[in-house]
Amino acid sequence: MRQELARRTRVFEIFRMDEDRYERQRRLWDQRRISSLKVLVGGAGALGNEVVKNLVQIGVKRVYVVDFDRVVHSNLNRCLFFRRSDATKRAKKVDALARRASDLNPDVEVIPVFGDIRDLPSDVIKDVDMALGAFDNLFARLVLNAMCYSNGKPLVDGGMEGVLGTVQVVLPPESPCLECGMSERDLEHMWERISCSGDVVVDDGPKLPYIPMTGALVGALQVMEAVKIVLGLESYRSSGRWNESVGAPLVGKSLFIDLRSNLSYAYDLHKRSDCNVCAP
Ligand SMILES: [Zn+2]
């Protein structure tokens, strides 16, 4: 009789486990902390789609997505939330992304912010715990970098082109920022693409290659770094130790991934004493 009761109780427990969306990840981390996380995602293109997908699947509290662009057919090879109908209607990327991401997990509040990152309302950056950079241009990435640093918010920046990807974690005030890792040539090239009015000049040169596999990999790494920060930052600040279950984030390093060889390299960055953003 007692054995029968134990067996039935076990069956009921397994049933309950399968009713909980987050049961398998609760085995790795404190889901309450993840479920209270508020994030800004800069960019609603290929990386933005991947980053938002992961954030929504793990069940964060709130995601703001900022972008000024509209969906076109050539986005459809790598943006999993966009549909042909979005491209036909030239839908706002942030609207299409927010609508379908909310459908994937209605528990997460996905808030579209249509516009330039420079015009982001200040209450958005103040509301979030951190930002994830998913822009395809250096200027927007550096604007977000400066915004995060001045507000003391961690930034996990991602970039990709063809079979190459990069990820960098910026943790104010101790770590170097994105601008510290830029060469003079990177910055010169960026300014060549900015007009006197501050608009990004749309050039007619060849477009960069993008494939979905690179975006999926970089987006996954970015959200994993975000998880490491949210679960470990408090402990790191008080004891110097990150959360052991998920590990330490790439603070002060830049990760470079090459899908041709499947090799990745993490190299150290250093604060530049003349950096406009992070120099003391
Ligand atoms: Zn810097």
Distance 139 CA to ligand 1 centre (A): 14
pLDDT of 48? 98
Q: Is residue 211 part of a domain?
A: yes
Distance 154 CA to ligand 1 centre (A): 13
Distance 226 CA to ligand 1 centre (A): 20
End-to-end CA distance of the chain: 72
Full residue range of the structural domain in which residue 164 is found: 33-268
Q: Is residue 273 part of a domain?
A: no
Distance 117 CA to ligand 1 centre (A): 19
Distance 279 CA to ligand 1 centre (A): 6
Confidence of residue 249 (pLDDT cuts 50, 70, 90): very high
Q: Is residue 70 part of a domain?
A: yes
Interval 105-131: pLDDT, tens: 999 999 999 999 999 999 999 999 999
| Structure tokens belonging to residue 136 | 């395809």
Q: Is residue 19 part of a domain?
A: no
Distance 195 CA to ligand 1 centre (A): 24
Q: Is residue 17 part of a domain?
A: no
| Structure tokens belonging to residue 262 | 């499947």
Check which CATH number belongs to the domain holding 99 and give it: 3.40.50.720
Interval 189-242: pLDDT, tens: 777 766 655 566 555 556 889 999 999 999 999 999 999 999 999 999 999 999
Longest C-alpha distance within the chain, in Å? 83
pLDDT of 253? 94
b/e string for 235-269 if b means 16 or more Cβ within 10 A? Answer: ebeeeeebbeebeebbbbbbbbbebeeeeeeeeeb
Q: Is residue 129 part of a domain?
A: yes
| Structure tokens belonging to residue 68 | 């000024």
Distance 146 CA to ligand 1 centre (A): 9
Distance 29 CA to ligand 1 centre (A): 32
Q: What is the DSSP string of 40-86?
A: EEE--SHHHHHHHHHHHHHT-SEEEEEE--B--GGGTTT-TT--HHH
Other CB atoms within 10 A of residue 95 CB: 17
Single pTM value for the model = 0.92
Confidence of residue 22 (pLDDT cuts 50, 70, 90): very high
Distance 179 CA to ligand 1 centre (A): 5
Distance 237 CA to ligand 1 centre (A): 21
> How many Cα atoms sit within 13 Å of 126 on the Cβ side?
3
pLDDT of 194? 64
Element (H, E) at 131: strand 130-133
Distance 113 CA to ligand 1 centre (A): 27
Interval 135-194: pLDDT, tens: 999 999 999 999 999 999 999 999 999 999 999 999 999 999 999 988 877 777 777 766
Adjacent-strand bridge partners of 55: none
Distance 210 CA to ligand 1 centre (A): 28
pLDDT of 202? 52
Tokens 């996380």 belong to: 37
Q: Is residue 26 part of a domain?
A: no
pLDDT of 203? 53
Number of domains in the chain: 1
Distance 198 CA to ligand 1 centre (A): 21
Q: Is residue 199 part of a domain?
A: yes
Identity of the amino acid at 191: W
